[in-house]
Every structure is written in C-alpha cells, then in structure tokens.
Structure 1
Amino acid sequence: MTIGVIGGSGIYDALPLENTRKEEISTPYGEPSEAVTLGELAERDVAFLPRHGENHQHPPTDAAYRANIYALKSVGVDRVIATNAVGSLREDLPPRTLVVPDQIFDRTKHRTPTFFGDGMVVHMGFADPYCPEMVSHLAESAREATDDGTKTQEDGTYVCIEGPQYSTRAESEFYRDQGWDIVGMTAIPEAKLAREAELSYATVAGVTDYDVWKQDSEVTLEEVLENAAANQDAINAVVERAIRTMPEDFESEAWSALEGTINTPQEAIPEETLERVDLLAGDYLD
C-alpha cells in the first residue's frame, strides 16, 4: 500500500519518515502545491503533500486540488488521510476537539470539481463522500492516539464554504439550523477528486473556533492559528497511528468508483482528453 497524507507542513515535520526524498511531478492539471515528499513509516510507503504549499501561499479557492490528487495517484497512492482546520457549529464541539466527519455539504462556488469534461461526461455516485472504512479507521486511531483527554467526534457533516472570508452571522446560524456540525474551506473539491481518482479518502479535522454563531465568540485569525497549533500534536499522533495500524486487508468501494460511470462512448471522446485521463480512467477505456 502507499498512503497519501494531505495537510500542513507541521504534519510532515512531525512524522518520523525514513528514506525521504522529494519528487517534482508535472500533471495535466498544472503543478501541485509542492513537490511530493516520499518516505517510509512502519514499513509503509507514505506520500505527503501540503495542500496550501510549504509557506501556506495558496488560498482555499486556488489550491491545486486536481494536480495534488493526480500527483498522489501517479506515485501509487490508493488511500489518503487528509487533515483540516474547521470551525464548530455545536456547543459540545469546542475548540481543540477532533472530528472525523462522514458527510459534506458543498457551498463552494468557484472551484473545478472534476477531472473530466472536455468531451467526456462522468456521473459518479457521491452519497458517502468519505470512505466509510477509512472514517472508521481514522476515528479508532484518534481514540487510541489521544490519551490526554482530547475529545474525538466520529461522524458529522462538514459544510464547505468558499472563503477566504469566514461566515456571516446569518450563514453561520443557517448552517446550525440545518444540523451541520463543522465548517471549513478545503473539503471540496478534494473529496470529489479523490473519489474520481478511486482513492479511499477521509479526514481528521481539528476544531479551532466556534465560527461566528456563538454570542461571546468572534472568530479571528489569531484564535484560529493559536488553536490550530494546539491541535497539531493530537492530529500528528492520529495520522501516525493511522499509518502504523492501516489494515493490510483494507477494502474500499472507492477503488472501483469509476465503474459504470462514463456516459460518453469512447469513440466520441477527444484524443487529447483520453490522454489526459489515462491514469485515472484508462482501465475503463480500452
């Protein structure tokens, strides 16, 4: 197995990777956020990518989501552990809580959510946006790795907003009225692209704030960064534990997600499109 990790540089710095090397990868979808760092942990191959770049230079809307997922796929990744910083929409999920969500609500507006198009139509199921097997494994890893009283919430809905601004009060109250649990800016289109690339994908999210719905709370960058730093050790421990204990007999429906989803006859798909998607869909296009 090769396990992909998408997150901040703090995770890479903390993972005890051995035999590391960096690989610059060009993709049909542009350049990834950074070079892919390849290494080994507990005799498992690991590929790491910082979503926003090494210096956090790519904002949520403009992060190289397609190139990042394509790059991980190209080095043999078949499962991905992502990390996110999020705001809480629930009183009982205070800052410094870890959440392993199982659902997403997409409120983004300006992002490309697919590898396909350009003469090729693919309609893929996305009812369970996070791989259920990976969700269970990450949640169990969180419970085992955080013995310092850190609270872990398994399941819940992550509402993904466009950003880079935080929510308005009206939006935050609306999200709470819907019964959603956490709010962030980076789950989409990453989760959609991971499914199209047939990768088992889930995330561990660290709560940094109460968004703006709470009367005595006003989300600020200072608060977010302070709590994100406090969450970092717990998230690093969860990611390391998840890698060390990843089951060898892991099975995921994501690994055949493209089967039966290509709606365009192959003879009607432009040659340049076929070449671009060969890594992703070549097994379904003879």
Structure 2
Amino acid sequence: MKTLLQKLPLEKDSSFIARTYETPYFETPYHQHTEYELMVIKKGNGTAFVGDFVGDYQTGDVYLHGNNLPHWFRKKEENMIGASMVVQFRDDFLGQGFFDLPEMKSIQELLTNSARGILCTGMLKKNIEKKLHEIEFLPGYEKVISLLNMLNEISKSTEYKFVSGVMINHSLKDQFLINVVFEYTMRNFQRKISLEEVALLTNRSISAFSHYFKKTTKMTYINFLTQIRISHACECLKSTNMSVTEICYESGFNNWANFSKHFKDHCKVSPTKYKAEFRNRDDYSVK
C-alpha cells in the first residue's frame, strides 16, 4: 500500500486544477495534499474519512477540504464506479497575499475554517454542485471567476457544517500506518476485531498502538471501529429491507443493547426511528 502525500501537477497554462476523476483514478487511499480542494461526488457512495470524521458519502455531496487535511472516500463496493469533480488550488494561486486583501476577508476565513472539512447542505449544495459540473469546461478567465464566486458564495452562506472536530496533519509515516489500519478495519469490521490483531499491523504493543492511534487521529481505535459499524448500519437502514435486529449483527455488534446504545449516542435517535424517518431528514450524520 502506497504512502500518499499527493503531488498534483498543473496542466499547461493553468494556475489550479479542475478535472473529473473516475474509476480507477477516483480510488485514492487516505491522503493529504498542500492544495485546498472543492469537490462534488459525481458517481458512487461509500464511507468518507475526513480528519476525525467517519460517515457516509453519496452522489451529489459537496466538500471543501483545507490544505493538508487527510481524507479518503472509500467506495461501498470494489466493483462500483466512483467519480468526483475536483478543484484543487493553492492559497497563492492568484499571487502571494491575494486572500489577505480586505475584500477577500470572508473567503480567507472560510479557507482557514476548511481545515476542519466543510460539507455543503441545502440550496448551497445544489448551487455549488451545478457550478462544479460546469467549471471544468470554462475558458481560463471564466474558470478563475467561477472558483472565486463559489468560494464567496460558501463564505457568505450558513448552509454548511464542519465535519471534523479537530484539525489533523499527518506525516508520511503516519499516513501509511493509518491507511493500513483503516483498510484492515473496513474489510473486517463485521466480525470481532481485537486490539491485539490491529496492533500487530503496526508492529506495536496494544498499549503503544492505542496511544499512537489516539495521538494521530484524536480518537480511540474502539471509537473509530464503532463509527464504522454505525455508518454501515445507517446505510443498511436506509437501503435494505433487513430488520433492525439483522442489521445489528450485520454491522458487527454482538448484542442489541450495545448496538442500540451506540446508535443513539452517534445518531441521537433510535435505529428503529431512524429507519422510519430518515427520508424526512437531510442531516443525519455519524460523528
């Protein structure tokens, strides 16, 4: 598995990147880059890892990632086609100090806050999604103006939420090890996973691994594993006809009481109520 501090080459006569990535180029494991990233999911769904956030992503989701914010969009199924329209830019792509201008104050604040990861909602999401689909095909000058307009629109809106509770910046070594742990967990969360077996992946003792994982991700491994299981349960509740009890065990929980408690803690509602009412809400999330 590769270590990914992604380096993004610019096209000729371009100051930033605006392009669509589709399978197999959509598949980029846990990584970070020095550029800011505004993106929309064009195809596919699965699990999003953004900073310390773990939750579902789906077609139409619009994210703004700060520079060096680790993230990964893992498809629900390996043979699924995934695609995203991505705009990646440096803070100096319009010249050193451009965003320090008084007229750019709201955008500068937005970029600073994007270190926590931003998910657009409501009409803002629809507006930015439409513009992201268009920007790839605009001529140079109009492309720059479009990006600035999108950033300005987000900065003036209240229709977004932060997805990561803390700001995380990982070293190359950390990215590699955390990527190994994340991938292993995603492949095995439906069965019992011991701390010992996960610690072995990093050649650490249980105590050393637990300390390392919490220091690196700002959450315990058990909490991370629980979030993965709850995220899977949410997807099953929304998209299958399985009973709530079946979903409990399908998601890796070994008893109903444990599942129900964790589900309420994360989603602020019971699994049964979530299954009955999710279509009427746009804001369920796993944190």
Structure with higher Rg: it is 2
Give the structure, 1 or 2, with the largest relative contact order (CA under 8 Å, sep 6 or more): 1
Settle same-fold status: TM greater than 0.5: no
Bin of the TM-score, shorter chain as denominator length: under 0.3
TM-score (norm 1): 0.25
Higher helix share: 2
Using structure 2 for the length normalisation, give the TM-score. Answer: 0.25
